[in-house]
Amino acid sequence: MNTELWLGLATGVIFGALLQQGRVARFEKQVGAMLLKDMTIFKFMLSAIIVGMIGINLLAALDMIPYSVKPTILGANLIGGLLFGAGWAVMGYCPGTSFAAFAEGRWHAIWSILGMLVGAAIYAEAEPTMRETVMTWGNYGKITLPQILGVSVWLVIPVLVIAFIGLFLLFEKKGV
């Protein structure tokens, strides 16, 4: 195995351990968030995003790393996003947590994994049609929030951090 594969494996082992220890790889936590009954996955994700967005943008500002922004295509992001959300609710797992759930004993996650493999194969067949239709609806390229707002990254980040912490306080107050 080369360096790339070893790095992926090492990163994945920690990623998996954190998903398991954060208790987010569980059907009841995923569906609990959608029912606004248990916001564990939001506490986990938003905490990661707070640390990550400060770190990534700091390193990028120092020219130590490049960004890798996914293109904004309104039709694809939104329609794809809604389809994903619908399937996610029934499965109770997202692609990353399905693996972590399977490995911590929730072996029924295998049905979700098999379904997702078939979904990926079907998408590969449908991709030429998608490319000519949905993928052309509202293509704005690789844009970021500070770019479209015309403000500094360091104005957007504090606003988001305060908003996320506000959500945490709300979750804890409501006991969800």
CB of 128 to other proteins, least distance (A): 7
Q: Which DSSP symbol is given to 135?
A: G
Element (H, E) at 150: none
N-term to C-term CA, the chain: 44
Task: Confirm if 97 and 25 have CB atoms less than 8 A apart.
Answer: yes
Site string for other proteins, 52-91 (x = CB under 8 A): xx-xxx-x----xxxxxxxxxxx-xxxxxxxxxxxxxxxx
Site string for other proteins, 30-59 (x = CB under 8 A): -xxxxxxx--xx-xxxxxxxxxxx-xxx-x
Which position among 61, 140, 158, 166 is part of the footprint of other proteins (CB under 8 A)? 140
Which position among 61, 120, 163, 170 is part of the footprint of other proteins (CB under 8 A)? 120
For residue 167, state whether it binds other proteins (rule: CB under 8 A): no
At residue 141, φ and ψ (nearest 5 deg) are 75, -160
Which position among 13, 61, 163, 170 is part of the footprint of other proteins (CB under 8 A)? 13
The Cα-based distances of 38 to 33, 125, 160 in angstroms read 5, 37, 22
Which position among 61, 162, 170, 172 is part of the footprint of other proteins (CB under 8 A)? 172
CB of 150 to other proteins, least distance (A): 13
Angle between helices 74-91 and 109-132 (to 10 degrees): 160
- Per CB under 8 A, contacts with other proteins among 144-163 are 144-146, 148, 153, 156-157, 160
For residue 16, state whether it binds other proteins (rule: CB under 8 A): yes
Q: Which is nearer to other proteins, 81 or 166 (CB)?
A: 81
For residue 118, state whether it binds other proteins (rule: CB under 8 A): yes
CA atoms of 96 and 157, how far apart (whole Å): 26
Task: Confirm if 92 and 27 have CB atoms less than 8 A apart.
Answer: yes
Max Cα distance, the chain (Å): 49
CB of 154 to other proteins, least distance (A): 11
